[in-house]
Structures are given as structure tokens and as C-alpha cells.
């Protein structure tokens, strides 16, 4: 298989903004950038730590707001220096003085008019504050003091998971309508003034636009899955320019763009983008240098695996967000063999939006996925080849059903082992944003489950029912950093035991190995940890990097039926397989797999 170059060129004219100025690394999960008061510099927000840096220079002040925030994703700096943060994990907005002193907050979980669900972005002007209330598909308007004015929402407006919002110089509100893959401009009463773009890759189209800023007649959009920045004219909506070349080598900066989450416009016309995936921020502007054309990618270049994974029997599933396709692998080979890639993007019947959870059943040849973009649960039937005659077949999985799932969002799916052939009773969906669990039904009459959940349940593992008939579940709580056990687990002291994960920075997924130990992946810590059921830390492995056995923002973990731990090494675009004791077994993607680490001499030759 040839590895063609991925090339997204820009129109570089003399006055182009898309010239690379600088890269600032080591900024953690930097999810938001906001121009500071005089718009000469930016403040950046690390979503992993809740720390705000006021400026990019080495002397910039860092303000620790973690005491009051959980996974904050949006930032705005008011003219008087106040810091506004969307406290996404706690469904509210908090604001602070420029010294970090908490001044107040508004919002909070719930469904009322000024309640929020996973707000992702905020902008403030002298007269209004606007919040992208992402999980409720609406924009909320407040007075500067926090008094709620109105919401911009409704079926005719039709926002879907908007993750970016900005106020322009004329008071118009620009929204990055992420899961509609478009940008809309609204007046302060919700009338649509401009409706720009659709899903796609050419100029003026977007793939999950997730950040937006407006200044001096220009709009800049962080076009996340297109790995580029687009600039539009604020008055006409006309596309002006775009730039962004996908990184070819890991951590490549120098103007290469990789999953930009937010963008800010400075007063001199410079643009700063936040790339939490790369833990960095990059600055572009007229005074910068030309971005060098990309080099040819090495053969066997890695795959864009997205942050979900599932396994059962010989099957392993993950998905590729840019393609909107699910990959199905056969694990019972020397190295995992890709059996099928299926799925296509779109909002129409049977098409895929953003998948946030996957489950697979090898006995009954079923795959399920929660689609947060289209608010549905999809079910496929697999027609696999005999184990001794594997082949790649894009038609191997057929969509059999797709039911509406109104609460589809970030979360997890878990399958109960059973004899039933229908969804009903088979699947539990953990709705992270709403902190509820649902039993999914065939007829789309999904029933909430009575189970005690904390405020940020991020992953769930089910293991049948205990002797008392109670469902046995392990739920990973990202807010309290703990695993909560429900029901009587073998050797656990009592029901509702808790395993503390306080030593981890950012636990995001959980799996159970055959000996009953828990495997937890720490995304911002770039490490995998293993705990016994009594909470004892057994072992941990991995460190930040791109070599085999290293991770870059690992996002998911499963244990296969050979008791091998498979880690979805998101930032390195690959999956890695280990023994539970941390011994590295192999690295694989949709291209080649490595079972032996190459010696440095060969590795250098390949890189050149």
C-alpha cells in the first residue's frame, strides 16, 4: 500500500495571515485561547489542570483556578481583566479577578433556561456575555453581571453541539455550530444573519469547527477535523483564506496544524490557535515565515484512530473520526488484521456523526455505537469470514438498526452478557454529561437506571449480577478520580467500594483484566495504571512520547480475550498492546504493525 502525502495547501499571498510565527509547547491540554484586554497577547486555558496563563511569553503569569473548576473548556478575558471560564465538567460559568480570586458564577446543571450542559465556550463584550451551552444546543446571553437575558435556540435555528462562540465588533454573535459543520452569525435576538458552510474539506466547508473569534471585520475558525484555520469576512461571510498542513511526523510544529480546538485574533491581525492534542499553542501572522511544504509521509503511516475502543472475542473495534468510519480488527492473528472499515459521514439515515462509545458482541456478531452527532444508537450485524480465511471486506458489517437516543453525548456503552437477541436488556449507556445511566431498548423507549452516580462518570464496566441479584458495575468517576464498585465484587470489602485514583492526573477509561484487576488510562499523565480490587496499586507503565511503549494522550483501554491490554494511543495515531504487567507486545494501526522495536539505525533511515 502506498502512503500518499496528505496535503492541504493554502493561498499564501503577500498579506496572508497564515505565516507561522511561533510555537509554544508544554502547555498541557490547552483547550482555549482568548485575546487579552488590549488584544496584544492571549491567555490560554489548560483543561486538564484548570490553570490559566496570561500571555505566551516566558514571564507570563499562571493562575491556578483548579480549586473551582473541572475540565474547563472555554475562556474569555474581559476588558477589565476579569477571567471568565466555562466550567464544562460542572455545567456552569465561573468568573475570577485577574489575580485568580473567585468572584462568582452562573449556570449549573439542569434543564431550565439558564441551566447548562457541558458549555464549551464563552465570549464577553462590554454589554453582553455569550455562552455556548453545547449540550443543550443553544447559546445563552447574559448581562455582564450574570443576569440571564435570553437563549438562542429552537428547532428552526437547529444548532447541534455548538462548541465555539464569539461577539464581533458590531455586536453580532458568531457560533461554531460544530455538529452541523457550519458557522452561523446571529443577532442578539437569534435571527440568522449568515449561514456558512457544510461538512467537507474544501475552502468554506468545515469538519467539526470548534473554536471561533471575531475582530476588526474578520472571523477566524478552528476547523478541527480538517486540521486547519479558516478566515472569513465578518460582513459578507466570504471565505478569505485558510491554512493548515496536517502534521506528517509526530509532534511536528512549525506551522503544521493538528486538531485545533480554538482560535483567537489579536489586534495586529495575528492568529493564535490552541491544539490540546499536541499540548501546544501556535501563532500565525503576516510577519511570520512561510510554512514549509510537507514531506512525504513514511510508509505505513499511522491511522487516525478516535478515542473509543471495544473488544469481545476475536473482534476489536475503533473508529476514525475524519472518515466517520468504524474499523473492525481480528485479534487472533500474529498481529491484528483489519477485517473491515465501514460507515460514512452525514446526518441522514444510517450515516455517522460523532461516535462517543462502541460495543461489540462476538457471539452474536453485533456492533453498537452511540452517535452523539446524530443523537442515535446504531446497530450493525457482522458477517465475518471463517477464522481460518480472513479477508478485508468493506461490506462485512451491515447496519441493521438505528434508534434515536436523545441523550447521546460523551459517555460509555456496556453490554450485559445474556441470551437475548435484541437491544432490550443488552445495552447500558452511561450518559456522562447528564450523569445518568440508561437501559437501551429496541423500540427507542430507553429507561433510566437507578444507580448512584457522581457528577462526572466517564466509563463503565459491567460484570453480570452478584448473588443478591444486584448488577455488578465499575464506574470510573473523573471528577473525584475514583473507581466506584456497585454490587458485590469478588474480594471487595463491601458493596459500593471505592478505589482511589488520586495519584492520576486525568483518568479517562477503565477496563478489567482476567484476574479481576482494573486497568486505568491516564490521558494527561500519558500512563497506564493497574489496580487490585482492594485498591492496591499493582503496576504502571508508559511515559509521554512517541516510541513504542510510550504514549501521547492515550484515550481508551480494553482487555482482550487473551488478557492483553490494548491501549488506544490517540496522540500517536495508533493502538498498542501489552501484557497486564506492562510488557510491550506490539504497536498497530490500519497499516503495518510492529512486534519488535526497530533498532535506532533502521529507524533513522526510515525517517529520512
Binding site for other proteins (CB under 8 A): 2, 4-9, 11-12, 199-203, 205, 226, 293, 304, 322-323, 342, 344-345, 348-350, 376, 381, 394-395, 398-404, 442-445
Sign of CA dihedral 398, 402, 408, 411: negative
Coil, helix or strand at residue 143: coil
| Cell numbers standing for residue 421 | 437477541
Q: Which is nearer to other proteins, 444 or 585 (CB)?
A: 444
Contacts of 527 (CB under 8 A, 6+ apart): 504, 521, 540, 541, 542, 543, 551, 554
CA-based angle 213:17:29, to the nearest 5? 50
CB of 345: closest distance to other proteins in angstroms?
6
Q: Residue 484: CA atoms inside 13 Å, Cβ hemisphere, count?
A: 17
Q: Which is nearer to other proteins, 12 or 563 (CB)?
A: 12
Q: Which is nearer to other proteins, 68 or 195 (CB)?
A: 195
In Å, how far from its chain's centre is CA 155? Answer: 26
Q: Which is nearer to other proteins, 301 or 559 (CB)?
A: 301
CB of 391: closest distance to other proteins in angstroms?
12
CB of 8: closest distance to other proteins in angstroms?
6
Strand order in the sheet with 164-167: 164-167, 173-177, 182-186, 192-196
| Cell numbers standing for residue 463 | 460484570
Q: Which is nearer to other proteins, 405 or 567 (CB)?
A: 405
Q: Which is nearer to other proteins, 289 or 445 (CB)?
A: 445
CB of 384: closest distance to other proteins in angstroms?
15
Q: Which is nearer to other proteins, 9 or 493 (CB)?
A: 9
Contact 538, 518 (CB under 8 A): no
CB of 363: closest distance to other proteins in angstroms?
17
Q: 10 Å Cβ neighbour count for 580?
A: 18
CB of 347: closest distance to other proteins in angstroms?
12
Residue 67 phi, psi (nearest 5): -60, -20
* β partners of residue 507: 522
CB of 591: closest distance to other proteins in angstroms?
14
Q: Residue 245: CA atoms inside 13 Å, Cβ hemisphere, count?
A: 25
Q: Which is nearer to other proteins, 7 or 536 (CB)?
A: 7
* β partners of residue 317: 310, 328
Coil, helix or strand at residue 135: helix
**How far, in Å, CA of 572 to CA of 505, rounded?**
19
CB of 321: closest distance to other proteins in angstroms?
9
Q: 10 Å Cβ neighbour count for 22?
A: 16
Amino acid at each position: 500500500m502506498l502512503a500518499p502525502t496528505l496535503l492541504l495547501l493554502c493561498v499564501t499571498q503577500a498579506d496572508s495571515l497564515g505565516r507561522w510565527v511561533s510555537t509554544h509547547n508544554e502547555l498541557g491540554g490547552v483547550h482555549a485561547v482568548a485575546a487579552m484586554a488590549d488584544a496584544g497577547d492571549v491567555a490560554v486555558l489548560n483543561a486538564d489542570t484548570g490553570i490559566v496563563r496570561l500571555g505566551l511569553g516566558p514571564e507570563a503569569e499562571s493562575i491556578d483556578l483548579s480549586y473551582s473548576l473541572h475540565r474547563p473548556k472555554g475562556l474569555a478575558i474581559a476588558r477589565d481583566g476579569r477571567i471568565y471560564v466555562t466550567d464544562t465538567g460542572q455545567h456552569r460559568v465561573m468568573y475570577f479577578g485577574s489575580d485568580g480570586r473567585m468572584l462568582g458564577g452562573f449556570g449549573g446543571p439542569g434543564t431550565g433556561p439558564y441551566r447548562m450542559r457541558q458549555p464549551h465556550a464563552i465570549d464577553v463584550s462590554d454589554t453582553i456575555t455569550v455562552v455556548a451551552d453545547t449540550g443543550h444546543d443553544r447559546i445563552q446571553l447574559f448581562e455582564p453581571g450574570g443576569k440571564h437575558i435570553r437563549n438562542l435556540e429552537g428547532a428552526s435555528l437547529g444548532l447541534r453541539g455548538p462548541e465555539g462562540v464569539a461577539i464581533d465588533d458590531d455586536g453580532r454573535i458568531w457560533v461554531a455550530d460544530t455538529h452541523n459543520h457550519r458557522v452561523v452569525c446571529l443577532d442578539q435576538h437569534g435571527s440568522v444573519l449568515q449561514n456558512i458552510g457544510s461538512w467537507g474539506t474544501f475552502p468554506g466547508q468545515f469538519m467539526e469547527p470548534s473554536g471561533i473569534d471575531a475582530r476588526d471585520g474578520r472571523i477566524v475558525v478552528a476547523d478541527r477535523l480538517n486540521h486547519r484555520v479558516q478566515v472569513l469576512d465578518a460582513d459578507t461571510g466570504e471565505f478569505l483564506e485558510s491554512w493548515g498542513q496536517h502534521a506528517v511526523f509526530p509532534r511536528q510544529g512549525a506551522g503544521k496544524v493538528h486538531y485545533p480546538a480554538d482560535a483567537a485574533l489579536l489586534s495586529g491581525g495575528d492568529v493564535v490557535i490552541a491544539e490540546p492534542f499536541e499540548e501546544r499553542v501556535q501563532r500565525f501572522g503576516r510577519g511570520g515565515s512561510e510554512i514549509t511544504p510537507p514531506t512525504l509521509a513514511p510508509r505505513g503511516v499511522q491511522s487516525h484512530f478516535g478515542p473509543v475502543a471495544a473488544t469481545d472475542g476475536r473482534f476489536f473495534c475503533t473508529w476514525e473520526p475524519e472518515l466517520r468510519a468504524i474499523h473492525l480488527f481480528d485479534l487472533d492473528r500474529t498481529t491484528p488484521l483489519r477485517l473491515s472499515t465501514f460507515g460514512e459521514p452525514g446526518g441522514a439515515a444510517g450515516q455517522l456523526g460523532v461516535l462517543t462509545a462502541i460495543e461489540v458482541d462476538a457471539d452474536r456478531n453485533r456492533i453498537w455505537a452511540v452517535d452523539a452527532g446524530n443523537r442515535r444508537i446504531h446497530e450493525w450485524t457482522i458477517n465475518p469470514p471463517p477464522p481460518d480465511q480472513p479477508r478485508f471486506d468493506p461490506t462485512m458489517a451491515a447496519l441493521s438498526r438505528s434508534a434515536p437516543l436523545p441523550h447521546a453525548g460523551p459517555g460509555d456503552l456496556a453490554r450485559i452478557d445474556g441470551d437475548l437477541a435484541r437491544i432490550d436488556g443488552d445495552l447500558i449507556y452511561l450518559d456522562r454529561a447528564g450523569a445518568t445511566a440508561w437501559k437501551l431498548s429496541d423500540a427507542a423507549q430507553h429507561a433510566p437506571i437507578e444507580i448512584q452516580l457522581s457528577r462526572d462518570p466517564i466509563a463503565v464496566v459491567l460484570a453480570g449480577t452478584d448473588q443478591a441479584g444486584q448488577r455488578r458495575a465499575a464506574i470510573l468517576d473523573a471528577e473525584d478520580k475514583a473507581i466506584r464498585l456497585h454490587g458485590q465484587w469478588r474480594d471487595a470489602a463491601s458493596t459500593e467500594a471505592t478505589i482511589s485514583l488520586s495519584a492520576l492526573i486525568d483518568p479517562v477509561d477503565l477496563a478489567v483484566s482476567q484476574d479481576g484487576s482494573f486497568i486505568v488510562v491516564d490521558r494527561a499523565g500519558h500512563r497506564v495504571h493497574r489496580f487490585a480490587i482492594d485498591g492496591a496499586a499493582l503496576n504502571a507503565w508508559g511515559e509521554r512520547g512517541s516510541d513504542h511503549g510510550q504514549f501521547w494522550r492515550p484515550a481508551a483501554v480494553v482487555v482482550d480475550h487473551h488478557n492483553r491490554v490494548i491501549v488506544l494511543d490517540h496522540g500517536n495515531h495508533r493502538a498498542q498492546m501489552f501484557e497486564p504487567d506492562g510488557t510491550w507486545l506490539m504497536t498497530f494501526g490500519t497499516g503495518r504493525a510492529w512486534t519488535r522495536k526497530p533498532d535506532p539505525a533502521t529507524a533513522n533511515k526510515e525517517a529520512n
